[in-house]
Amino acid sequence: MPIVANVLVGLVAIIHVYILVLEMFLWETPRGMKSFGTTPETARLMATLAANQGLYNGFIAAGLAISLFLSGDGAFVLKVFLLACVIVAGLYGAATVSRRILVVQSIPATLALVAVVLTA
């Protein structure tokens, strides 16, 4: 079960790296605008804000990746904290922006969190 938990944690980290790339580097491209439902004008106006959000997603990804190389209580606490943050952020995003965020962020993080807790 620890392998499953770590694979799920790694998947959540990869999702957040992808979000970082979308928000920081692809925001004003057709792929970025399609992903976030923006127009060229709104994408241009929001580019700096999106890049900032992307950076935060990168921090989440980095923390989750680091947690995979730690052991003991520190790894457990870091995984639980960061996965809980992703779940809460996903719930907020689903309530305020798009329900798709629930599927992309909260559900994978919830599955990872359950696996992490079950392996403790």
DSSP assignment, residue 97? Answer: T
What local confidence, expressed as pLDDT, does residue 44 receive? Answer: 97
Instruction: For residue 26, give the DSSP letter.
Output: S
- Report the residue count for the chain: 120
Identify the CA nearest to 8 among candidates 118, 119, 112, 120.
112
* pLDDT tens-place string over residues 50-67: 999 999 999 999 999 999
Give pLDDT tens digits for 66-113.
999 999 999 999 999 999 999 999 999 999 999 999 999 999 999 999
CA angle 66, 59, 103 (to 5 degrees): 95
pTM higher than the cut 0.85: yes
For the chain, give me the number of helices (H) and strands (E)?
6, 0
Element holding 43 (H helix, E strand): helix 40-69
